[in-house]
Chain A
Amino acid sequence: MTGSRSAVTFALLLLLPAVLYILFIVAYPLVETVNLSFTDAALKPTVNFVGTKNYQKIFGGEFPEVIGRTFVWTFFSVLIKMVIGTFGAVLLNAAVPGRALFRILTMPPWVVPIAIGIFMWGWMYNGQFGMISGLLQNFGITDGPIAWLAYGHTAFWATIVTDVWIGVPMVTVYLLAAMQSIPKDLYEAAWTDGAGRFYRFRRITLPMIVPALITMSMLSLIATFNSFDIIWILTRGGPSGDTTTMIIDTYKTAIGSYKYGEGAARAVMICLFLSVFCFFYFRVVSRINTGEQR
């Protein structure tokens, strides 16, 4: 039934609406981005082909610095998410009363509109009245108020912390699921042999969740690289460009200054990086799967 010609026709008909939709809303804009990147498209009515001028221009400017900053930002965000996520998953996996409630309490940052969570962070980072600066002063750790979003390096880390906060629930829940799928027999056998809790974690839990850790790191890497809302709401890429990542830079150029052509060239660069990540993601996932089947 499944291989005949009429079956193939039927399957393609079923796929047609979704495929057309994606072609129209994702594939066509993707091609269009590449096309635009070789033009001087802007608000003016005429569009001229300018060759690689846009690329020469962005690489002659601050763009290499923006790329470097984006990679540092993404690297630390993903790393911290993984560390806190693993920490959280181990704790929520412990057989203590109340864990069902604790698991639910982990979810809110994931499900509330991202922007609203960020508003609340915006207030927390406020130097005069916010919680972080306020508590640090109350406990006598810092002398004066710290306006976290006003200085380059604190704003950089503040946006990372908020990005981590948004990503942690998903990582935690995913790693927790991976931990729960580890056969209990392994732990019992190790326990019978006298292995301690920490030893069991290092020799059983950690190796068994490596595939999940890799998969989640890759997914987080792609999501973090694309992160827009957090930086835009908290700092708009400032102060003086210190939190401007590639996405923010593209947005400012294209939507803020109406330089569609130059913006498109930036977007193409982002797509190139994302394709590389995606390539590795697919390779890793297929390797993990063939490893499991053996």
Chain B
Amino acid sequence: MKRKIKSPKPMIDRYRWYETAAIYAGIFLFLSFVLAPFVEGFLVSLKPLSSLFSSPYNFWPEKGSFDAYITMWESVPGFWRYIVNSLFISGTVTVVVLILVVPAAYAFARFEFPGRGALLGAFLAVNMFSGAVLLIPLFRLMRSLGLLNSYFAMIVPGVAFLIPTATWLLRTYMMRIPRELDEAAWVDGASRLYTLRRVILPLAMPGIAVVAITTFIGAYAQQFIFALTFNSKTEFMPLAIGLFAYFGRQEVVWNELMAASFVGITPVLILIVFLQRYLVAGLTAGAVKQ
């Protein structure tokens, strides 16, 4: 390889002014689409109800205020409860997924056994079913287990559909840990379980962290259908369903509802600033590299 001359910006990446302008215009257009609902939602949360339901349409709130962010705590009773429920459900789902997936990923990454390829394929095939397809028997199953209208009704099925991706991701990560380390521990007389616990687990921690983050975000983003169908008790509802219940009413207090939505999603939006590269790593490791 020839050494290239180092310059702050290579020639190939230099744009003419109109190219730069076109790129920014394109990005503006693209992000307008991606962020439009958030912008609209935020502006709605600032508008007083009277100006919200008035024509002609005003994009900017004229007498904008943060009042809705204060009044919503009273008009959406149990709002805190919904957020805590959401976090609790996602957190429990993540822990259960990790407990199931860490050993399974290690087995797939390290051991030869008959039917390994087929079993891995079967794991991945689970990905193609959404909960919606299997809802009828799952509903009956939850009913006969007596889990309807409890946290478990949302946690138990939620876990199953997050196992495949998590297994795949962690397996990919574990395959990069040198085999010699297992073998050295084995030669030194360590048991297999000890090797897993003391050699592999510490080394796989970054990978486990990525899997935990992607699983948590997946669980947090996708709690709708099970919560909608398997639980009707207000005290167990996650945020999405708790707010959805208000949308069905005759008089929807939109500005407060939007304010509540924003408060509900702010934690994730802040988290994503710090964690986005893990999410990207998760996505690409799971699907690009096989």
Chain A: number of interface residues, binned into ranges: 35 or more
Residues of A within 8 A of B41 (CB): 119-120, 123
Contact B40 A255 (CB under 8 A): no
Residues of B contacting A94 in the complex (Cβ-Cβ under 8 angstroms):
15, 23
The answer to whether B287 and A119 touch across the interface, beta carbons within 8 angstroms, is: no
Q: Are A22 and B126 in contact (CB under 8 A)?
A: yes
Q: How far is the CA of A51 from the CA of B256 in the complex (A)?
A: 52
0/1 string, B127-149, CB within 8 A of A gives 1:
11110111111111100000000
- B76 in the interface, Cβ–Cβ < 8 Å? no
Most chain B beta-carbon contacts within 10 A, residue among A10, A19, A168, A170: A10
Cβ contacts A1-42/B at 8 Å (1 or 0 each):
111001110111011011101100110111011001000000
A206 at the interface (CB under 8 A from B): no
User: A12-B107, A22-B163, A129-B57 given as contacts; is B37 within 8 A of A120 (CB)?
Assistant: yes
Q: Tell me if A135 counts as interface (CB < 8 A to partner B).
A: yes
Interface SS majority for chain A: helix
Residue A109 lies at the interface, judged by CB distance under 8 Å to chain B: yes
Name the one of A14, A103, A121, A216 contacting B106, with C-beta atoms under 8 angstroms.
A14
A168 and chain B: residue at smallest CB distance: B34
Nearest opposing residue in chain B for A174, CB measure:
B283
Contact A106/B136 with A1-B183, A94-B23, A111-B221 known, Cβ cut-off 8 Å = no
Give the CA-CA distance A219 to B287 in the complex, in Å.
Answer: 10
Q: Is the CB of A270 within 8 A of B272?
A: no
A18 and B167 contact, CB distance less than 8 A:
yes
CA distance A19 to B221 in the complex (A): 25
Is B127 touching A250 in the complex (CB atoms < 8 A)? no
**A contact residues around B221 at 8 Å (CB):** 110-114
Query: Is there an interface contact between B132 and A251, defined as CB atoms closer than 8 Å?
Result: yes
Is residue B52 within 8 Å, beta carbon to beta carbon, of the partner chain?
yes
- A176-227 at interface with B (beta carbon < 8 Å): 177-178, 181, 187-188, 191, 197, 212, 215-216, 219, 222-223, 226
B35 within 8 A of A: yes
Please give me the 7 A-B residue pairs with the lowest Cβ-Cβ distance, nearest first. A134-B57, A115-B240, A11-B111, A226-B130, A120-B37, A29-B137, A32-B137
Binding site for B on A (CB under 8 A): 1-3, 6-8, 10-12, 14-15, 17-19, 21-22, 25-26, 28-30, 32-33, 36, 84, 87-88, 91-92, 94-96, 102-117, 119-124, 128-131, 133-135, 137-138, 145, 165, 168-170, 173-174, 177-178, 181, 187-188, 191, 197, 212, 215-216, 219, 222-223, 226, 228-229, 232-233, 247, 250-251, 254-255, 260, 263-264, 267, 270-271, 274-275, 277-278, 281-282, 285, 289
Q: Could you jot down 11 A-B contacts, CB within 8 Å?
A: A14-B104, A15-B104, A19-B119, A21-B160, A26-B129, A116-B239, A131-B59, A191-B11, A197-B19, A255-B136, A260-B136
Task: Other than A28-B141, A119-B244, give 10 A-B pairs with Cβ distance below 8 A.
Answer: A11-B113, A14-B106, A26-B160, A108-B35, A110-B221, A112-B265, A120-B261, A168-B33, A215-B288, A228-B132
A-binding residues in B (CB < 8 A): 9, 11-13, 15, 19-20, 23-24, 26-27, 30-31, 33-38, 40-41, 44, 52-59, 86, 99-101, 103-104, 106-108, 110-114, 119, 121-123, 125-130, 132-141, 156-157, 159-161, 163, 167, 182-183, 186, 192-193, 196, 217, 220-225, 228-229, 238-241, 243-244, 247, 254, 257-258, 261, 264-265, 268-269, 271-273, 276, 279-280, 283-284, 287-288, 290
